[in-house]
Amino acid sequence: MNDVHLIDHPIVLFDGVCNLCYSSVQFIIKHDPKHLFRFASLQGEFGQQVLEQYHLPAAAFSSFILLEKGIVYTKSSGALRVTKKLNGLWPGLYAFSIIPPFIRNAVYNWVAKNRYQWFGKKEACPIPTTGLSKLFLP
């Protein structure tokens, strides 16, 4: 089992069966040419370890979670922090962080609640290609 504190990279935890969530991971990888981020399914061993260690619900699959330098950022706050490190114009989205979290998260929660209906879901988390497998934690 990996020690959460020994990972030097920001870690994105995502719902491994959600099509929208997995597409978001692919988007981050495409716009992260330096491979700063690591990824783990919330349903996986590492994801469950993080949820337990940070006292988050074991079934918190509807939340995007960013673990960076020992701090957990969830929902829109986590997603916006990720955009800061992407290439292109994506860091400009961080400007939305001035919107109060209760407003941002209301929109986030609405999308999260409907994500399976709108985007579908997989039976299991897809296995990353060999070239990208080093970016994924168990």
Q: The domain containing residue 9 runs over which residues?
A: 4-124
Is 132 a member of any domain? no
pLDDT of 14-56, one tens digit each?
988 888 888 899 999 999 999 999 999 988 899 999 999 998 8
The DSSP H or E segment spanning 41 is strand 38-41
What global pTM score does this model have? 0.86
CA distances from 49 to 4, 40, 54, 101 (A): 8, 11, 9, 26
- The reply to whether 137 falls in a domain is no
In a domain, 130, yes or no: no
Mean pLDDT, range 53-75, rounded to an integer: 86
Give domain status of residue 136, yes or no: no
Better-scored residue on pLDDT, 128 or 5 = 128
Evaluate whether residue 70 is within a structural domain. Answer: yes
Structural domain includes residue 16: yes
Q: Which helix (H) or strand (E) holds 68?
A: strand 65-68
- Residue 131 lies inside a defined structural domain of this protein: no
Q: How far apart are the first and last CA of the chain?
A: 8
Does 15 fall in a domain? Answer: yes
Rounded distance between C-alpha atoms, residue 44 and residue 10, angstroms: 17
Domain count, the chain: 1
Statement: residue 82 has pLDDT above 60: yes
Residue 86 tokens, joined: 């992407």
User: Does 118 have pLDDT greater than 80?
Assistant: yes
